Amino acid sequence: MEFPKLIHGMWRLNDWNFSDNQLLGFVEELLDLGIDTIDNADIYGGYTCEAMFGNILKMKPSLRHKIKLITKCGIKLNIDKYPERSIKTYDYSYDHILTSVENSLRYLNTDFIDLLLLHRPSPMMNAEEVAKAFSKLTEEGKVLNFGVSNFNPLQYQLLNSVVDKKLINNQVEISPFHLEHFDNGNLEFFQKEKIIPTSWSPLAGGRIFNPQTEREIEIKNTMVEVGEELGTDKLDQVALAWLFAHPSGIIPILGSGNINRIKSAVASIELKINLEQWFKIYNASRGEELP
């Protein structure tokens, strides 16, 4: 599976108030910009976003072979749709994975998923049972590739040691505001194992524009300074360029329904942050100089 430099996420799709025709036009504009990979999950929008996206594939079936679909499974929300659930849980049983994929295929109006991710690590995950489900889905041609989301290196290695088809992706939160995966060994692990890292919330959920703490304000001020050096006043471009500069090959997942925001993000691909500028932002996020 080949990834573009940017992926588009549908987490907030039902907040954008798109009609089916508007969503179809939006996705076609994404394709024109070189963004052909769409990220979804069974739970997005309270189990509604996959079906909303699937409507446009029903309207225009030829679109399916121009795009790559990512979806996720494993989180079970305790919403009104499932009154038998009293709390949120994570379920990676053989039956739940297969059922979740069948639901996603039906909602998305497709007969295969390009990449299936386990949404969050579970302390009750039986890796052998997950591997059995993955093998079944591969045999049936319903899922082409597998990965995980929010896993640390040991959790990734555990699952990767038992699956027939090696995992290709770990989707984690990385941004100038969120350095967890610089500290837990994941970014080194990605490079060592040639794993594709995709970054959710690369703009810190919009907080780069509206910082809330002294630390976040300092990061924003530093990004403004670096932006001036790069010739841009767009903070999103600076944040994305900072991610692109990392040798692990981070691929940001965009979450905006505003096509002008997407165009701005695409323009950031051409920005080249130098080593000193990169460390200015990194140090601001850490709150201290390098030792």
Q: Which residues are catalytic?
A: 44
Q: Which of 207, 259, 212 is nearest to 236 (CA)?
A: 207
List of residues 6+ apart from 16 with CB closer than 8 A = 257
Structure-block tokens of residue 66: 């121009």
The DSSP secondary-structure symbol of 166 reads -
Would you tell me how many other CB atoms lie within 10 Å of the CB of residue 135? 13
What phi and psi values does residue 219 have, to the nearest 5 degrees? -65, -45
| Cα-based distances in Å from 122 to 42, 76, 160, 237, 252 | 17, 12, 15, 34, 24
